[in-house]
Amino acid sequence: MTEKDIVTAIMRYLKTVPQAFCWKEHGGMYSTAGLPDIICCIGGRFVTCEVKTPSGKLIKLQEITITKIKAAKGEAFKVTSTEDVKVILENLEVKPYDDSLDIS
């Protein structure tokens, strides 16, 4: 599975999480280098995910950016799967989607 595939699967999952506004950060000459791949506001919390394949490693700039986000009281994680994100959100006490609420 490629990093792009993992990002797609995570974004698909995050669209089902209540009170979540998330986007894929697309790098380019006008973006800030080192920003995590996925940026979210979930239930009023700033949460970011740097997506890697299971064998992928963070580069120094990504490590520094994650440290800065955490120092600013945001949440920042290296993730390799949708399961990683689910565990993180459970630990942050973000409730999973409940389709009985019939939110549209």
Distance CA 54, CA 69 (A): 23
Give 99's pLDDT tier (boundaries 50, 70, 90). low
Cβ contact 92:75 at 8 Å:
yes
Backbone phi and psi for residue 71, each to the nearest 5 degrees, phi listed first: -65, -30
Per DSSP, the residues of 15-50 read TTSTTEEEEEPPPSTTSPTT--SEEEEETTEEEEEE
At 66-98, the pLDDT tens digits run 999 999 999 999 999 999 999 999 998 765 555
In 3D, which of 97, 101, 69 has the Cα closest to residue 12? Answer: 97
At 3-44, the pLDDT tens digits run 999 999 999 999 999 889 999 988 778 888 899 999 999 988
pLDDT beyond 60 at 103 = no
User: What pLDDT is recorded for position 59?
Assistant: 96
Report all structural domains of the chain as residue ranges with CATH numbers, in order of start. Answer: 3-92 (3.40.1350.10)
Distance CA 53, CA 72 (A): 27
